[in-house]
Structure 1
């Protein structure tokens, strides 16, 4: 079933998908810089482009299975962001000097996993808003 018009929900789904492309590129650069020293670093690197591709498809074709897959990917994005937040906060604390300001500046970025979570929540809001 095709979408009828470009509603705000559909635009938000498209925006969320494109934002995941940008976030995914940034995450890839940061994790590459750290040589992917933990396997969990691969999760957002792989998940972000999948969300981008699926979200673009869902933006143009309103199929029930695409909607369900988008919701599942958004839930995985939330989980991935929360786990990433834990690892980034922990990463700042284990640096030499612990919770010193300089470690917040040069250590793992604390806001990037939160952005992954926030964009996933925005995607869920868009999907469930359109279901009203």
Structure 2
């Protein structure tokens, strides 16, 4: 079934599925916090768009889709880094800040926004592999 599929195509499908799963997780986390900050809506809106575009790009590659995906993956890289800084600030604001390891367990997950950056980077790698 996979024979003859280029690695770029498989990576785009993987990236799309990863964004779909991240969408579920980030939506649960942010809704649990009642979307207290406007930036909490960004990954909830962007990750399903990223997922659909990545999977669509695996099967068809019109120029507008290539450009749109490229731009949005760079937005994902930057947005994930920004999200990680917001999450780090959230951990810092808890009682004891960074000195209390418990704050990393119960506070906002710093790694989750970095996953958005990482998968956005993987999407760019898949797009420009060849």
Which band: TM-score by shorter chain?
over 0.9
Distance 2:43 2:29 in 1: 11
1:93 counterpart = 2:95:
no
5-14 or 79-88, which deviates more: 5-14
Distance 2:13 2:97 in 1: 40
**1:37 is matched with which residue?**
36
Structure 1 segments (4+ residues) deviating >3 Å: none
**2:7 is matched with which residue?**
8
Coordinate RMSD, CA, aligned? 0.9
**1:61 is matched with which residue?**
60
**2:75 is matched with which residue?**
76
TM-score, length-normalised on structure 1?
Answer: 0.92
Structure 2 residues without counterparts, runs of 5 or longer = none
Report the CA distance between 1:38 and its aligned residue. 0.2
Structure 1 residues without counterparts, runs of 5 or longer = none
TM-score, length-normalised on structure 2?
Answer: 0.93
Distance 2:26 2:76 in 1: 13
Determine if contact 2:54/2:123 at 8 Å carries over to the other structure: no
- Deviation per CA, 1:40-76, whole angstroms, max 9, x where unpaired? 1100100000011111211111211111111111111
**1:122 is matched with which residue?**
122
Distance 1:67 1:59 in 2: 11
